[in-house]
Amino acid sequence: MCLAIPARIEELTTPGNAIVNLGGVRKEISLALVDDAAVGEYVIVHVGYALQKLDQEEAERTLQLFAEMGQLDELREELTGGAA
Amino acid sequence: MKYVDEFRDGDLAKNIAANIAGEAHAGRAYRLMEFCGGHTHAISRYGLADLLPPNVRMIHGPGCPVCVLPIGRIDQAIRLAREQDVILCTYADTVRVPASANLSLMRAKAGGADVRMIYSTQDALKIARDNPQREVVFLAIGFETTTPPTAVAIRQAAAEGLKNFSILCDHVLTPAAMHAILAVEGGVALDGFVGPAHVSTVIGSKPYEPFADDYHKPVVIAGFEPLDVMQAILMLVRQVNDGRAAVENEFTRAVTREGNLKAQELVAEVFELRDAFEWRGLGSVPHSALKLRPQFAAFDAEQKFKVDYVAVPDNKACECAAILRGQKRPQECKIFGTVCTPENPVGSCMVSSEGACAAHYSYGRFRETA
Ligand code: SF4
């Protein structure tokens, strides 16, 4: 029950509520726990509430970190003649 | 799905795995505890243990709210529903947890009790508004992620003057449980923690600093996607190799050092610490759970209906307690997968997909026999 996923805010509804898109399913959630969430932003949704906004720049940075490590691996493979 | 699928890329996972294998010293063991049930679920579901060298071992921790709730707490809810005729609302996983006398909330429901599964505390409030002639009790369980939504509901109920709504408060605290794990007698040998994902979005990374500073255990907070978990393991292996113990954050896209201050303030306004709370597997842990503040006493079902907590021992065959302490693995329980299955759970760890036994049953069971 701790599972929660990032979802994109599609529409602000009544004050403090929003419609998010959870993998194609539109659902109304409460924004009572986050400040100034705007349409187009991603939030982490848990039991019907946005727990935190998702920082898109940080998300990209983390993804880059994974990718760079991939390159590092290739480098290592080249250096060791594919025996990594 | 954006910001989900990218964190599940199989090739990248293999790359990180190669780095872990390259950097983990063959001569030593790395025993890493994933505290959170969400990580247990990810590790089993994506077969991450198979990507790790044999000397890097993941140990499941007690971070599944359904798993750590002792039988007596479910009994309390069942008594309320059966004897006091309340509408008992709760999150879905809780209804299947085995309670005393061969009951569960689901069986109580089948026997006529009014038990309703809800998705959000907003649903519980709605049920209370729609049924003014009935008492509605929300069985409020969970770690720091589910507590703020309960706080919001209490504040709303107070503002609306909703008199037929109350909660059975079983909200528990992550850092207190981590302390308890490290203090367990005969201890669990641990080299570091994969720190909780969503709990940390609320409380931030700061509360873990004592584990690094005082206990010298590295903590890496990780998101719930497979690449997050793999990256966190790599970061832990590096810390262990360097002899360092720090709190590091892999989940910077959602976790800051301070966490969600708005949520923290709401929780502090509505709740205060309990002196002690009994956990399944960890026994009574001081200052490890929350109760409503005196000014919200009208919403406290324990006081309103005078249902006391009565401790009940676990089923004798069940090893949940040792599993939750990180001392045993699911397959070491004699009734794992035979008498105890997700369809017919004997212990709490077999109930939710984040429980160690259920996760291992659903995804990892055949690997062990190979
Ligand atoms: S297999 Fe069932 S009975 Fe055994 S430890 Fe797991 S949940 Fe408890």
pLDDT in tens, B80-96: 999 999 999 999 889 99
- Ligand 1 contact via B97 beta carbon (within 6 Å): no
pLDDT above 50 (res B74)? yes
Mean pLDDT value across residues B202-209: 97
Chain B residues close to A40, C-beta within 8 Å: none
What sign for the dihedral angle of Cα A31, B256, B207, B29? positive
Question: Tokens at residue B219, please?
Answer: 């903590």
Inter-chain CB proximity B123 and A66 less than 8 Å: no
pLDDT band at B325 (very low <50, low <70, confident <90, very high): confident
Mean pLDDT value across residues B345-369: 82
- Give the percent of chain B with pLDDT over 70: 97
Nearest alpha carbon, ligand 1 atom 1: B336
Residue B126 to residue B128: CA distance in whole angstroms: 5
Question: Tokens at residue B356, please?
Answer: 């160690």
Residue B171 CA to ligand 1 centre (angstroms):
23
CB < 8 Å from A in window 148-167 of B: 148-149, 152
- Ligand 1 contact via B330 beta carbon (within 6 Å): yes
Residue A6 DSSP SS3: strand
Q: Relative to the CA of B350, which ligand 1 atom is closest?
A: 7
Mean pLDDT value across residues B179-185: 82
Give residue B146's pLDDT: 95
Give residue B369's pLDDT: 44
Question: Tokens at residue B164, please?
Answer: 């037929």
> Could you say which DSSP state residue B252 is in?
T
Question: For a pocket test of ligand 1, which of B333, B338, B339, B348 has the largest count of ligand atoms closer than 8 A to its C-beta?
Answer: B333
Residue B328 CA to ligand 1 centre (angstroms):
11
Which residues in chain A come in under a pLDDT of 50? 82-84
Question: To which residue do tokens 């890496």 refer?
Answer: B220
B15 in reach of chain A (CB within 8 A) = yes
A75 in reach of chain B (CB within 8 A) = no
Give residue B368's pLDDT: 53
pLDDT tens digit sequence for B263-282: 999 999 999 999 999 999 88
Total number of residues shown for chain B: 370
Chain B residues close to A49, C-beta within 8 Å: 120, 148-149, 152
Residue A29 DSSP SS3: strand
Q: How many Cβ atoms are within 10 Å of A48's Cβ, its own excluded?
A: 18
Distance from CA of A63 to the nearest CA of B (A): 7
pLDDT band at B365 (very low <50, low <70, confident <90, very high): low
CB < 8 Å from A in window 27-56 of B: 36-38, 41
Amino acid at B48: L
- Ligand 1 contact via B178 beta carbon (within 6 Å): no
Chain B residues close to A62, C-beta within 8 Å: 7, 228, 231, 250, 252-253
Inter-chain CB proximity B38 and A3 less than 8 Å: yes
pLDDT tens digit sequence for B144-178: 999 999 999 999 999 999 999 999 999 999 999 99
Residue B362 CA to ligand 1 centre (angstroms):
13
Distance from CA of A68 to the nearest CA of B (A): 10
> Could you say which DSSP state residue B172 is in?
B
Question: For a pocket test of ligand 1, which of B315, B336, B339, B353 has the largest count of ligand atoms closer than 8 A to its C-beta?
Answer: B336
Mean pLDDT value across residues B228-237: 95
Mean pLDDT value across residues B23-38: 92
pLDDT tens digit sequence for B234-246: 999 999 999 999 9
Mean pLDDT value across residues B121-137: 97
Chain A residues close to B231, C-beta within 8 Å: 62, 65-66
Residue B140 to residue B150: CA distance in whole angstroms: 7
Chain B residues close to A70, C-beta within 8 Å: 11-12, 15
Average pLDDT, chain B: 92
Give residue A72's pLDDT: 57
B95 in reach of chain A (CB within 8 A) = no
What's the N-to-C CA distance of chain A in angstroms? 40
- Give the percent of chain B with pLDDT over 90: 75
Q: Relative to the CA of B328, which ligand 1 atom is closest?
A: 5
pLDDT above 70 (res B226)? yes
- Ligand 1 contact via B359 beta carbon (within 6 Å): no
Provide ipTM, 2 decimals: 0.88
Residue B141 to residue B73: CA distance in whole angstroms: 10
Residue B290 to residue B269: CA distance in whole angstroms: 12
